[in-house]
Structure 1
Amino acid sequence: MFYPDEIVEEVREKNDIVDVISTFIKLNRRGSNYVGLCPFHNEKTPSFSVSQNKQMYYCFGCGAGGNVYTFIMEYENYTFPEAVKYLAERVGIVLPEAEYSEEAKRASDLRTRLFEVNKMAANYYYYQLTSEQGKTALEYLRKRELKEETIKKFGLGYSTKYSNDLYQYFKSKNYEDSLLRQTGLFTYDEARGVYDKFWNRVMFPILDVNNKVIGFGGRVMGEGAPKYLNSPETTVFDKSRNLFGLNFARLSRKRSILLCEGYMDVIALQQAGFQNAVASLGTAFTFQQANLLKRYADEVFITYDSDKAGVNAALRAIPILKEAGLSAKVIHMNPYKDPDEFIKALGESEFEKRIEKASNSFLFEVAVLERDFDFSDPEQKTNFYQETAKKLCRFSDELERNNYVEAVARKYMISQEDLKKLVNRYGASLSSFDTYEAKTRTEREKKSLKGTDGIKESQKILLTWLIEEPETYTKIRDIISDRDFKESLFQKVAKLLFQQFEQGERINPAAILDQFESKEEQKEIASLFHTGVKGDMNQIEKEKAFNDTVRRVKKHSLDWESRTATDMNELQRIIKEQSDLQKLHIFL
């Protein structure tokens, strides 16, 4: 599926990249760009840069980069046509009937057909649950006190004891193996043949926020292992970017989320009226999931199991939630193991009270830390205060840090002044270490620019310079051509950029990016367009830097040509240009 270039360009031009990205993450102005915490990896210091002038973004931490289409595709896990539709609707552009290339048609058809197979599988599992074969599974759900409407709401089902039941069902419907292999519902084994991924399990369909079935979780009936089994990742199922129950939770009017460990906890809480409950999908909570929650909530209540594994999982989730800009609190469910048990024992009103009394996430971390120390031993007590002081150094805002120092001092009976001195001491040592790290990192970066890396960097700098100061193109048009960029990717970029210059078009880096389909190429180009150029230079220093960059690029090109030249006339031309290059000076 594809749209005419002029439509793609119109949609992009009307969707300012800063406005679009600001709806997903918080951006702050810094000079001519905007910066924020990268939504594609875990970080504490903003390294995600958005250029309004170039209509591009780039993360100096993980290398993610692109234009507004790339961002929506990465953030929402959309295909390119889906990203065009989303952005067109955002600005009120009515799209024409889409055309299809063979490759795009196959990709679009595959996603459509996978959704179709998943939906059919969910209906099949639901049917089996209500049949004679599913009697035991249905009794299990009823013993867990699930109502009929809850079972229907979540589409719960049953995979029978026969290991190829679902496979035979789809083969009877004439579905080809080339498609079924990609669903994650079947295992293809040379020795055993084809068999169902799930059998003899209560089935939990996993839906995305648009209510499309993207995968499944299965709870074994009896003593089989593993107890819970989830679909593998497929074209439509990315565990790190989805949450069980979010399709219902996002409709809640509350700006808070109850984050659970298991599917049954979500179902039990939603049945009890807590519609804002979700769970991660059989893996550790991820930064992408935190960013997903950020769209629908400002505050997250962690309702993990009260055992050691649940406490450790909560400790891992807290910093992820905070880095995504979410307030995190922890609900205590003792003496019960999980929300499901708690609701059954004490009911909705008592759980509501636990929400109201939820612990501040930092104080929860300190309380967990406290368990490792014997306060009757002065040495251990001192060690506890030292470890707590280190944790307090995380708060960069002085007011917030002081408030936590006051709260910890009051709770653990230590002089506020003494604790503050301890925090300041550790803060100073950490600051010195960071300075050392930054210095050594700079030295490593300088060394890496030697040789081939240096030439590559010079080519990147020259292209970036031309974009940031288009008037410099007229200064070099007779000196540098796209063929002088010997890096294959840079040569393609230079050719497209020089075409814009020659045709008198507005310089549009974001449009250049659309000419490349490979994600790796797009990241490299985004990096190229965000290369540091001038720094803090006066006019003389700037002119020298520009001349040095042009000379390096041209010299490398001529050296390369001299090694491959076979014609004497060609060789003489190269020698003359090498000689002229030594005398070259471009006035800016």
Structure 2
Amino acid sequence: MNDIKDIVEEVKNRCDIANVISEYMPIKQSGSNYKGLCPFHGEKTPSFHISSSKQIYKCFGCGEGGDVINFVMKMENLDFIDAVKLLANKCGIEINTNMNEEDKLRMEKSKKYQDIHLEAARFYFANLLKGKNPGYDYLRKRGLDDKTIKKFGLGFSQKSWNELMDYLLSKGYDKQDLVQCGLVNHKSEGNKYYDRFRNRVMFPIFDYRGNVIGFGGRVLDDSLPKYLNSPDSLIFNKRYNLYGLNFSRKNIVDRTIILVEGYMDLISLFQYGVRNVVATLGTALTEQQGNLIKRYADTAIISYDSDEAGIKATLRAIEILSKIGINVKVINLKDCKDPDEFVRKYGLEEYKKAIGDSTHYIKFRIDHLKKSFNLQKDEERVKFAKEASKIIKELKSPVEVDYYTNYIAKQINISTESIKKEVYGKDYNKVYNKQNNKYANKKVEKIIEKPKAIKKGKELVEETLIKLLLENKKIREITLLKVEESDFLLNESKEILNYIIKNRELDKITIDKIKCLNISEEYLKDLERISLDSIDMNDIKSIDEIVKNLKKNNLQEQMNILLQEQKNIELQKQNKDDLKEVDVKVMEIALKIVEIRKMLQSL
């Protein structure tokens, strides 16, 4: 049964629930999740919700819910095994549910190979710590402490041809298994068997559940290749895995992931406190890895090496991630070659600042393109404008088109109108003038005017929802699918929410039970004063309205902060020598405000 569970988990891991459901019915994005009209009962108002982070669906009208397998079972009228088989076929997993002897043998081998890799990881780890060796010296010189070394299970392979092989043979495994799972090489000439990894620092590669499925080895002498990965096997395919995901998936905040290239980049950042980070496995980002990222994040911040190879890999990752709807940004590493060097040279706070200042992928592509032209020459400026226009043409938002055409125009002294004509081509008058009539005659203040105030006070909304979650288990089960910690403004609300999540199975959580938390007396008194008598606990729509107001309040607060920041910048204009820089900052804030307004309209 454990083997079957592994297959089921792998199927769910590879099949994004929103993508599968969208093949059966129209769905619309709502924040980081999706919603649509329930296919299991007639309705006019969408009550069918899909949680991207939890990979589950729930209809709050008829009560249907579950994971991607449950959905396919219901839609296709299949039993469990047939639904798993259908999904496995979709995502490229070979499985025969008849479970003949060959299939059983394959499953047994998969489990055996995981066991072999676990034994190998323990062996390499023991090698690293049992005495003085170049592997341990290397890791310490790179700044890793013992706690981090243990956390990632790092190890060392001796400069020996058969040390690991002999150890695993002593554990009862045979040579053919060791060859097939990639730890031992076989040379037919002379029938020689020898360890694949020798004299290397060893990085165990885990799947997202924490099973050891392969290794990466970093050489300690002048041998090539510098980094050597396990070959693809029954349990390991580097195209479908991301290094560190087993650790980072529990530390992803605001559905944002940092993407790096190397093992040491990830481990170093993790040790310094950047935990929402994953790494590719020695190759350029693949489409399969991009889809895996999408399961956990809406925003990916790329932090690859700053050399030419790293820039090329960054552009490839941008192409893959932007195509599947992920918001992509790129970190500026200043004078450092990689994130590991940056965080050691400048520290955690500077790296966090670099994350906050990361460049939108469109601007990154334009800046990179600019390096290919001599903008001192008129002909080169024209060529640059034409090529840059192709990048802008991918944008759908007229505000973003305005921003980036303006960005290009200021650098090459060509009018924004000319660039927009290049972007829209023969459709310029038909498409752009229509948008221009809508936006161009409005002042910036009109575009970003403050939306109407939300009627309910933000504190009352939060505290009412918290009290509902404490009091009612049914409401708790439904609402926890729709809210996240980042939706709340008050620290007390966030702390209580986390307590509720950990104790969600309780029928009722009394206020006395949360007094042990770091909650102010004033907040606790507010909770006690709030009456729930006027709220129909069985009316899902009224609960949804409270959740909607909670999210609106949060977005409103973000809007207020940005508006104030913009106002402050405008007031400082007269003291600035470079007004262009001020205008760019104002426009950047305007873009953020437009995005928030879109989110408000979708609620």
Counterparts of 1:356 and 1:19 in 2: how far apart (Å)?
Answer: 29
What residue number does 2:223 align with? 224
Once the two structures are superposed, residues 389-441 of structure 1 have per-residue CA deviations (whole angstroms, 9 ceiling, x without a partner) of: 1222223555544443344335554322111011122879xxxxxxxxxxxxx
Q: Answer whether contact 1:55 1:68 (CA < 8 A) is retained.
A: no
1:398-417 correspondence to structure 2 within 5 Å: 398=398, 400-410=400-410, 412-417=412-417
Q: Answer whether contact 2:16 2:295 (CA < 8 A) is retained.
A: no
Counterparts of 2:230 and 2:3 in 1: how far apart (Å)?
Answer: 34
* Pairing 1:384–2:399 present: no
C-alpha distance 164-359 of structure 1, shift in aligned 2 (>3 A): same
What residue number does 1:200 align with? 199
1:114-263 correspondence to structure 2 within 5 Å: 114-132=113-131, 135-191=133-189, 193-254=192-253, 255-263=255-263
Question: What are structure 2's unaligned runs of at least 5 residues?
Answer: 5-10, 29-35, 40-70, 429-603
1:77-116 correspondence to structure 2 within 5 Å: 80=95, 101-116=100-115
Aligned to 1:295, the other structure's residue is in SS state helix
What residue number does 2:354 align with? 354
Aligned to 1:290, the other structure's residue is in SS state helix
Larger relative contact order (Cα-Cα within 8 Å, sequence gap ≥ 6): 1
1:390-469 correspondence to structure 2 within 5 Å: 390-396=390-396, 398=398, 400-410=400-410, 412-425=412-425
Once the two structures are superposed, residues 58-104 of structure 1 have per-residue CA deviations (whole angstroms, 9 ceiling, x without a partner) of: xxxxxxxx9853564257776659xx9xxxxxxxxxxxxxx964223
Counterparts of 1:154 and 1:366 in 2: how far apart (Å)?
Answer: 38
Aligned-pair CA distance for 1:175: 1.1
Counterparts of 2:179 and 2:263 in 1: how far apart (Å)?
Answer: 26
Paired amino acid for 1:227:
K
Paired amino acid for 2:84:
Y
C-alpha distance 24-405 of structure 1, shift in aligned 2 (>3 A): farther
Aligned-pair CA distance for 1:317: 0.6
What residue number does 1:69 align with? 84
C-alpha distance 184-363 of structure 1, shift in aligned 2 (>3 A): same
Paired amino acid for 2:279:
A
How does the TM-score come out when normalised to structure 2? Answer: 0.57
Aligned to 2:133, the other structure's residue is in SS state helix
RMSD: 3.6
1:423-572 correspondence to structure 2 within 5 Å: 423-425=423-425
Aligned to 2:180, the other structure's residue is in SS state coil
Counterparts of 1:356 and 1:150 in 2: how far apart (Å)?
Answer: 26
Aligned to 1:181, the other structure's residue is in SS state helix
Once the two structures are superposed, residues 143-197 of structure 1 have per-residue CA deviations (whole angstroms, 9 ceiling, x without a partner) of: 0010101000000000110011111111222212232221111111122500111
Aligned to 1:204, the other structure's residue is in SS state strand
Q: Answer whether contact 1:291 1:324 (CA < 8 A) is retained.
A: yes
Q: Answer whether contact 2:385 2:408 (CA < 8 A) is retained.
A: no
Counterparts of 1:177 and 1:283 in 2: how far apart (Å)?
Answer: 29
What residue number does 1:490 align with? none
Counterparts of 2:236 and 2:294 in 1: how far apart (Å)?
Answer: 20
C-alpha distance 55-414 of structure 1, shift in aligned 2 (>3 A): farther
Paired amino acid for 1:211:
G
Q: Answer whether contact 1:206 1:215 (CA < 8 A) is retained.
A: yes
Aligned-pair CA distance for 1:25: 12
Counterparts of 1:315 and 1:110 in 2: how far apart (Å)?
Answer: 39
Counterparts of 2:381 and 2:285 in 1: how far apart (Å)?
Answer: 32
Q: Answer whether contact 2:206 2:213 (CA < 8 A) is retained.
A: yes
State, as a whole percentage, how many aligned pairs show the same letter: 38
Q: Answer whether contact 2:252 2:296 (CA < 8 A) is retained.
A: no
Q: Answer whether contact 1:18 1:52 (CA < 8 A) is retained.
A: no
Paired amino acid for 1:209:
Y
Aligned to 2:105, the other structure's residue is in SS state helix
What residue number does 1:560 align with? none
Paired amino acid for 2:307:
D
Counterparts of 1:125 and 1:24 in 2: how far apart (Å)?
Answer: 46
Aligned-pair CA distance for 1:371: 0.6
Question: What are structure 1's unaligned runs of at least 5 residues?
Answer: 5-11, 34-50, 57-65, 85-98, 429-588
C-alpha distance 114-327 of structure 1, shift in aligned 2 (>3 A): same
C-alpha distance 123-332 of structure 1, shift in aligned 2 (>3 A): same
C-alpha distance 53-160 of structure 1, shift in aligned 2 (>3 A): closer
What residue number does 1:274 align with? 274
Aligned-pair CA distance for 1:136: 1.3
- Decide which moves more: 114-123 or 70-79: 70-79
C-alpha distance 411-342 of structure 1, shift in aligned 2 (>3 A): same
What residue number does 1:549 align with? none
Q: Answer whether contact 1:128 1:158 (CA < 8 A) is retained.
A: yes
